[in-house]
Chains A and B, each alone.
Chain A
Amino acid sequence: MMRLVARRLIISVALVLFISLLTFVLQTLAPGDVARTILGCGGQTASCPEQQYQALRHELGLDQPLMVQYWQWLSQALTGDLGVSPVSGLDVSSAILSRLPVTASLVLLGTAATALVGVSVGVLSAVRGGRLGRVVDVLSLLGFALPNFWLALVFMALFSVTLGLLPATGYVPIDVSPRDWALSLILPVGTLMLAGMAGFAKQTRDSMLESLSQEYVRFLRANGASELSIVFRHALRNAAIPVVTMVGMLFVGLFSGALFIESVFALPGMGRLAVQATLGHDLPIVQGVVVVFTLIVVATNLVVDLVYGWLNPKVRVT
């Protein structure tokens, strides 16, 4: 277990360094640079006043070798300071931090709803089987095939525009009005849930069927263990081991999903920040989001490993 975590930690550090370096290297490949963008002569046609341009490059440290720039950025980043965007003038760390609660609400609720409904439906269809199983199959295919931003738009058209039940767009912080906060999240979270639920249920069911066919289930049943205990205490507990990995993947996946959902429902979250920064060529912000995002992925994988070890005694001792 310790070795597993140690290996994961080493990979995680390597990953964060790799990603941040990658974004730096990609910048040098970009046609034009930040200084030109700020001076408004980023395009091919406009020519920059050379002196002003060089001065700005020096001020931004762009005349330094790439590795020096990277080292400066990294040493600052380690203190939690991701710098200031010369394009928009925003402090990258605080821009991301102020958007984080929105994305966190969306993703955490989305993961919880998807996992909860998915596991329940999955267990039910494993125990009952038959028609429910086939419905889950079809829904999981649809959940895969239909783009979630399109689904979001359809729900918006139905519940907000046609029926007028829910707000179509916008976000209310929870400390302003918990009720409005909840209302503003129903459609986004609901979309994420419906898109992912069936796929999750299907995997839970497969995992449950696998555990239910194990020899220990037959043995326990033969010696009088109750059906409830067999399904929940034994089969589900064993099925939970792969399901935890799925929850981790789901959680990380929903951060990507948030890029689209936040845009559809105009939620001021990290995803929307990243998209707007990308459209505005605001690389430092994009880079900051990528790094924070990578940290979330890395942390999630670590948590999944730990929970995995906790659930699986075979891993725990080694």
Chain B
Amino acid sequence: MTTTIPHSGGAVDLDGVASPLGVSGPSRTDPRGRTLWRAVFRQPLAALSIGYLLLVVLAAITADYLAPYDPSDVDLNQILSGPTAGHWLGTDSLGRDVLSRLMFGGRLSMAHAAIAVATFLLIGVSWGLIAGFFGGWANRVFTWLIDVIIAIPALVVLLVVLSVFDGDMTIAMVALGILAAPGFARVVRGVTLGVREELYVSAARVFGIPNRHIVVKHILPRVAGPILVHASLFAGGALLIDAGLAYLGFGPQPPTPTWGGMIIEASAVVSRQPWLLVPPGVTLGLATLALALLGDAIRDAGAERTGRAPARGSRPGPSGSMRSSTASRPARAQATDALLSVRDVSISLSLDGRQVQVVAGVDLDIRAGETVGLVGESGCGKSVLGSAILGLLPAAGKVTSGSIVYDGIDLASSGPRTMQGLRGSGIALIAQDPIAGLDPVYTAGQQVDELVRRHQGGSRKAVRARSLDLLNDVRLPDPIGVAGRYPHELSGGMAQRVAIAMALAGEPSLLIADEPTTALDVTVQSEILQLLRRLQRDRGMAIMLITHDWGVVAEMCQRAHVMYAGHIVESCSASEMFDHPSHPYTLGLLGSMPRRSLPGRPLPAIPGVVPTPGSWPGGCHFAPRCDFAMPECTEAPIPMLDAGAGHGVRCIRYEDIRGSSR
């Protein structure tokens, strides 16, 4: 729910209702928006709101017949009675029946709101359509006018109107509609501009279909959603303003009942019968609330149908829960010289509300100073594994089994505090998009400083000196100059160097590089790789390189692991991987490298797509896409097989495949 009006009473922000709805509306396939209403009605709160609004409207219409008393019937024997059997909502200071006055009072209040809404719609829609449809100077004039009118303090202008026109509420409500319309017109214009640019509308224009027809047939259905949302929210605001003005003494004078008037009557006797405040306030409040809820429901329904439901409740957890169910199989012997040893790790994430396994039984060792590649298409679980090592899985993600031992500590079962202590100083990260990875509001220097201060402390001067050293180490040509720049002033390559400097601030012994060059230009890519190699040599730092680029593996890695659909399917030294690929997936990946393809032949590609987590096949995960698959491949999970010389492969036909690749 996104009601954005920050305060109530007359202080309604008239531009307000800043709708994130943007350009959504009924889709093309459904010009009359019937399913929109169905989607709205499916939401219980919305149905309740509609019910309440209908009740209030009906009560006002049928007041002549159904109201128990005449709203002006004075009964001085029964004043300020409070709720009784004869007067369900009590009587006021003249003994008049509160329920009857409420029913009659709703007529004027709602009529006034209706006048305001009608004006609001008429002006907002026509203005927005004209500016959006004709563009050009109409659009420019419109933008300027909107900027001026939106800044008008609406309520005081209403006072002028009331003062000039002697408290005429009809004119005041028309004025309110006019003053509120520009913000709404802006939304309509936005949608119209968008629709106008779409092919089928351009085509219709080219074919000479009259504008009127285009507007009615194509544009109006698309803006219907935003129109309903805004009309609903504005109607609530108009009701409040009408009541507020009545409270201030404008509009119909006593004894004519209005909701606002009843509040002022109640306030006069508040010390004797505070109850009287309740019926008009609650009736009015509920009506406004219902309109706001309805607006939200229409917005949500529109978003839902266009597949852009507002993301809710999915928040990145501050430290990602890392607790594993330790009912794991006994860890296999850890390679004694491994810096990081991942054993039989399975990870599940929450996707669409279900816990889904995305990494299954991964084994992986990284020795000090070594570069290990983790290769695969996107969606294979590479980055999730990286996040798990850093203890940064999303809130609902967890390591369900296995161990991640770093420097003698099992990260999979240690708490957030341990992880916090290790990040940066033990294990650090550089990521794919360096510019998005830097905080836009601080300079590069300030961001390096923060991590240096965090990991090493020291005086402001010492920290800055160390930061400049780091920026120098990553071969930035002008460290002092770069330190003073903001991220948006850096090129991608420079930003990645700054990010590397930040990652080095804690002198980590393992760097997780998650697609560190994917977002960069080719020339910059090789510079960054060269830098990483040099840093690694100088610092003896291990690198876990997540990539889908074999060129990067060839250039950087001693060992490589190929991941497919949550499994590691092949692990061996990088040179062995290129010389004797033994898993059909590795073979396919290598084959689809442009530089390996044969001139004049189409670039080979692996047919099909990576299965989504949760829909992995029972046996070998790759079997459905595999040219070598046999019935056995789909019967049972395929274990990692030892192909000799430290070469592991998860394929029962690896010998045939090796033969075929020669």
Contacts and interface: CB of A to CB of B under 8 A. Distances in A.
B440 A149 contact: no
Interface in A214-253: 214-227, 229-230, 233-234, 237-238, 241, 246, 249-250, 252-253
Given A150-B284, A153-B270, A294-B152, A129 B163 contact: no
Interface string B153-165: 1111101111111
Interface stretch (B72-80, B209-217, B499-507, B615-623): B499-507
A222 B4 contact: no
Contacts of B439: 216, 220, 234, 237-238
B153 A129 contact: no
Interface string A1-23: 00000000001101100110011
Interface stretch (B6-14, B82-90, B123-131, B562-570): B6-14
B71 interface: no
A215 B3 contact: no
B480 to A, nearest CB: 18
Interface string A183-225: 0000000001001100110010010010011111111111111
Interface in B127-165: 144, 147-148, 151-157, 159-165
B433 A223 contact: no
Contact of A253 (B13, B144, B428, B489): B13
A274 interface: yes
A219 B438 contact: yes
Contacts of B382: none
Nearest to A312: B441
Contacts of B163: 277-278, 281-283, 286
A153 B9 CA distance: 12
Chain A contact residues: helix, strand, loop or mixed: helix
B406 interface: no
A313 interface: yes
Contacts of A12: 151
Interface in A145-172: 145-151, 153-154, 156-157, 161-162
Interface residues of B, number: 91
Contact of A224 (B8, B160, B424): B424
B266 interface: yes
Interface residues of A, number: 103
Nearest to A296: B153
Contacts, number: 306
B156 A256 contact: yes
B491 to A, nearest CB: 16
Contact of B293 (A141, A214, A282): A141
Contacts of B281: 146-147, 150, 153-154
Contacts of A289: 156, 159
B157 A19 contact: yes
A293 B284 contact: no
7 contacts: A15-B152, A26-B161, A161-B271, A220-B447, A223-B429, A227-B319, A282-B163
Interface of B: 1-13, 144, 147-148, 151-157, 159-166, 236, 240, 243-244, 247-250, 263, 266-267, 270-271, 274, 277, 280-281, 284-286, 288-289, 292-293, 313, 315-316, 318-319, 390, 392, 420, 423-425, 428-429, 431, 433, 436-442, 447, 450-451, 454-455, 486, 488-489, 499, 502-503, 505-506, 512
Given A200-B6, A206-B2, A317-B489, 9 more contacts: A19-B152, A148-B10, A195-B8, A196-B7, A224-B420, A275-B249, A313-B440, A313-B486, A314-B486
